[in-house]
Amino acid sequence: MIGRDITQRVELERQIKDKNEKLEDTVISRTAKLLQYNRNLIVEMYHRKKVEADLIASRKRLRQTAINLQNAIEEDRKKIARELHDDMGQALTVLKIEIYDIGNSAGIANKDVIDKKIKHVTGIVDDIIDNMHSMIIMLRPTVLDDFGLIAAIQWQIQELHKRTGMVFEFDTNINSESYLDKLNKEYVIILYRVFQESVTNIIRHAEAEKVIIRLGDEGKSITMEVEDNGKGIDDSKMFDYKSFGILGMKERVSLVGGTMNINKGTFGRGTKIFVSIPLEKEEEEE
């Protein structure tokens, strides 16, 4: 009886030992698989992070390349505008003076005929000068570089009012141009181009009578609104691929981390373009 009990106990211990060994083998095997899985996961995470880092770096490079390209274009515009203003402007002015001198030195008998021809020729010269000034405005008005953004906007809306008869209203809570001088030059150029492109579109398409431009310092951002009381813009055409002017504005604003929205105007009919540019660029996650 005792021998049988001992035998049963030994057998039971053996079975327990076998099961423990099998369990241990299973644990070791599963642990090895889990470790391998973890190693694979770590490798995959490393590769993903590297790909993400490469994408972020590539995006930064593309953004900087785009900014550099825009800056180069602006510098070329600035140079051409200066040359037109200084060289062509002076040459045409001298030409007018020379024409008048010819008239003054002509004989009295032919005075009326010559005066008539001089008036005709100087009229052509004046038209050339006006067209040249329009080209300078579109390229890069010298007042923007000489006196700053606020002065450039005020000067251009005066010129546009004379040319079109449209009413312009300009509001800003920025009291000093020196504030804008401290801003990144890219921001000033972008804000001016938004103003310029928006007003150009309004004159060409909106059939508006009044335009309101608002420039604001909002603490952490600088904003611009251009609003008109014209016929408005079709929603389907706001960011149509053919609307290069609108797309160009939106793209330039986004390059510096800003946003641009187009909404229905608030004073009567029309359209309102709102741009906000952060004064402190948010760093992209590494």
Tokens 């241990």 correspond to: 24
Residue 54 above 70 pLDDT? yes
Domain ranges of the chain: 142-286
More confident residue, 84 or 119: 119
Residue 198 above 80 pLDDT? yes
Per-residue model confidence (pLDDT) at position 75: 72
Residue 285 above 50 pLDDT? no
Which band of pLDDT confidence, cut at 50, 70 and 90, is reported for residue 104?
low
Per-residue model confidence (pLDDT) at position 239: 53
Per-residue model confidence (pLDDT) at position 147: 82
State how far the Cα of 54 lies from the Cα of 46, in Å rounded to an integer.
12
State how far the Cα of 70 lies from the Cα of 256, in Å rounded to an integer.
12
State how far the Cα of 247 lies from the Cα of 263, in Å rounded to an integer.
15
CATH of domain 142-286: 3.30.565.10
Are 71 and 186 in contact, with CB atoms under 8 Å apart?
A: yes
Residue 252 above 90 pLDDT? no
User: Residues of 31-59 as b/e, b for ≥16 C-beta within 10 angstroms?
Assistant: eeeeeeeeeeeeeeeeeeeeeeeeeeeee
Phi-psi region of 216 (alpha: psi -120 to 50; beta: other; left: phi over 0): beta
Residue 167 above 60 pLDDT? yes
What is the tens place of the pLDDT at every residue in 260-270? 998 876 665 78
Question: 90: which residues sit within 8 A by CB, 6+ positions away?
Answer: none
Indicate the average pLDDT of the chain. 77
Q: What is the DSSP string of 194-229?
A: HHHHHHHHIIIII--SEEEEEEEE-SSEEEEEEEE-
pTM above 0.85, yes or no: no
State how far the Cα of 21 lies from the Cα of 4, in Å rounded to an integer.
25
Residue 14 above 70 pLDDT? yes
Among 56-65, 146-155, 208-217, the least confident range: 56-65
Residue 273 above 80 pLDDT? yes
Maximum distance among all alpha carbons in the chain?
A: 159
- Residue 83's identity, in one-letter code, is E
More confident residue, 236 or 41: 41
State how far the Cα of 12 lies from the Cα of 20, in Å rounded to an integer.
12
Per-residue model confidence (pLDDT) at position 177: 63
Per-residue model confidence (pLDDT) at position 284: 41
What's the average model confidence in pLDDT over 97-107?
66
State how far the Cα of 224 lies from the Cα of 153, in Å rounded to an integer.
12
Per-residue model confidence (pLDDT) at position 286: 38
- The tokens of 264 are what? 């229905």
